[in-house]
């Protein structure tokens, strides 16, 4: 018998029993699809119960489409962090949290008759079929480049009101990611450097112009040229097929690791950072920097 804490809430579908693990891939995806569908139905029922007027959760009942916006962004970033760790349990948990936000928003939408989860799922399913005519239709797209060209053409046909290759890029995304997306769209339209050498030359040019702005001591000019340097650096990242968001995240982590190590060593010497000169701090820093660059 289940304990009270393990009891299934009334009106909520029971979770299906997990299939035995054999270590071999299933011969057909049907059992996995059935289990996923059952768990998904359970999640929808739980969300509806939490939002039930009169006896639902007070916090859940207070939420609106506007109030849920920051949680969607927060959970998306946490899911990205989990992808970086390659930890299975963390990734499963964070993807679940992200899925919850989508289900939550769809539940709120259904209560106001705007849309429901069926609309969301139907819309993306129809879009996937429509944008993959080489899979679900008769067109041919043997390469990734062909697929992207077809995708862009179909997308333009769908979005008849869009007049620019840059239309449709969300404005409420981090500037680094927006720069990356703007450049990708421009490149697909043929506006791009031929290779990474051109992008690197542009980056060096922009750094030089930033130096000139610094010499002028004009804050507005410095701000403009600094933005140009960052935009040019994103161009280089794109040619290297490196997402600038992740590249900068890794550098942030590296800086934090080295700084904390330097800080710990100085504290172990009975001093604080304020007690040290910059050359003293740099000596600690450079030791950890060299250790990072030592082949492992």
Q: Taking residues 126-138, what's their average pLDDT? A: 92
Task: Among 19-23, 112-116, 132-136, 229-233, name the one with the lowest average pLDDT.
Answer: 19-23
* The two three-digit tokens of residue 184, written as one number: 């990708």
* The two three-digit tokens of residue 4, written as one number: 């009270």
Q: Taking residues 15-42, what's their average pLDDT? A: 67
- Structure pTM? 0.59
pLDDT value of residue 10: 60
Task: Among 30-39, 91-100, 220-229, name the one with the lowest average pLDDT.
Answer: 30-39
User: What count of other Cβ atoms lies within 10 Å of the Cβ of residue 25?
Assistant: 8
Residue 156 predicted with pLDDT over 90: no
Task: Among 17-31, 40-54, 65-79, 176-190, name the one with the lowest average pLDDT.
Answer: 17-31
CA atoms within 13 A on the CB side of 49: 12
Q: How far apart are CA 259 and CA 53, in angstroms?
A: 51
Q: What is the pLDDT of residues 232-277, one digit of tens each?
A: 999 999 999 888 888 888 899 999 999 999 999 999 999 889 899 9
Q: What is the pLDDT of residues 172-200, one digit of tens each?
A: 778 888 899 889 888 888 888 889 999 99
pLDDT value of residue 164: 82
Q: Which of 110-119, 142-151, 187-196 has the highest mean pLDDT?
A: 110-119
Residue 201 predicted with pLDDT over 90: yes
* The two three-digit tokens of residue 188, written as one number: 């697909």
Q: Taking residues 218-237, what's their average pLDDT? A: 95
% of the chain residues with pLDDT over 70: 88
Residue 65 predicted with pLDDT over 70: yes
Q: H or E element: which one contains 221?
A: helix 219-239
Whether 72 contacts 65, CB under 8 Å = no
Residue 112 predicted with pLDDT over 80: yes
pLDDT value of residue 226: 95
Which residues fall within 8 angstroms of residue 107, CB to CB, at 6 or more apart?
A: 44, 47, 48, 51, 116, 117
The pLDDT confidence band at residue 14, using thresholds 50, 70 and 90, is low
Which residues fall within 8 angstroms of residue 67, CB to CB, at 6 or more apart?
A: none
pLDDT value of residue 51: 96
Whether 244 contacts 232, CB under 8 Å = no
Q: What is the mean pLDDT of the chain?
A: 86
Higher pLDDT, residue 181 or 168: 181
The pLDDT confidence band at residue 81, using thresholds 50, 70 and 90, is confident
Residue 283 predicted with pLDDT over 50: yes
* The two three-digit tokens of residue 238, written as one number: 């794109």
pLDDT value of residue 50: 97
Whether 165 contacts 189, CB under 8 Å = yes
Place of tokens 């946490």: 78
pLDDT value of residue 118: 94
Q: How far apart are CA 20 and CA 32, in angstroms?
A: 12
Strands (E), the chain: none
């Amino acid at each position: 018998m289940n304990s009270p804490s393990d009891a299934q809430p009334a009106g909520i579908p029971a979770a299906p029993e997990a299939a035995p693990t054999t270590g071999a891939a299933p011969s057909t995806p049907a059992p996995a699809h059935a289990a996923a569908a059952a768990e998904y139905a359970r999640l929808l029922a739980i969300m509806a119960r939490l939002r039930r007027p009169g006896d639902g959760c007070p916090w859940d009942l207070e939420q609106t489409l506007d109030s849920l916006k920051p949680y969607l962004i927060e959970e998306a970033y946490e899911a990205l962090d989990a992808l970086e760790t390659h930890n299975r349990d963390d990734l499963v948990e964070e993807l679940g949290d992200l899925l919850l936000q989508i289900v939550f928003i769809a539940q709120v939408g259904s209560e106001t008759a705007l849309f429901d989860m069926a609309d969301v799922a139907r819309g993306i399913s129809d879009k996937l079929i429509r944008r993959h005519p080489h899979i679900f239709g008769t067109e041919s797209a043997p390469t990734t480049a062909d697929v992207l060209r077809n995708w862009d053409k179909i997308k333009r046909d769908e979005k008849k009101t869009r007049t620019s290759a840059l239309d449709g890029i969300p404005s409420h995304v981090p500037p680094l990611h927006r720069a990356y997306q703007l450049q990708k769209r421009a490149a697909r339209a043929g506006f791009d450097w031929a290779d990474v050498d051109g992008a690197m030359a542009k980056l060096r040019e922009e750094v030089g112009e930033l130096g000139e702005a610094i010499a002028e001591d004009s804050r507005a000019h410095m701000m403009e040229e600094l933005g140009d340097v960052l935009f040019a650096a994103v161009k280089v990242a794109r040619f290297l097929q490196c997402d600038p968001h992740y590249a900068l995240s890794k550098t942030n982590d590296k800086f934090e690791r080295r700084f904390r190590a330097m800080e710990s060593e100085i504290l172990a010497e009975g001093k604080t950072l304020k007690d040290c000169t910059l050359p003293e701090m740099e000596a600690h820093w450079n030791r950890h920097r060299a250790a990072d660059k030592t082949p492992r």
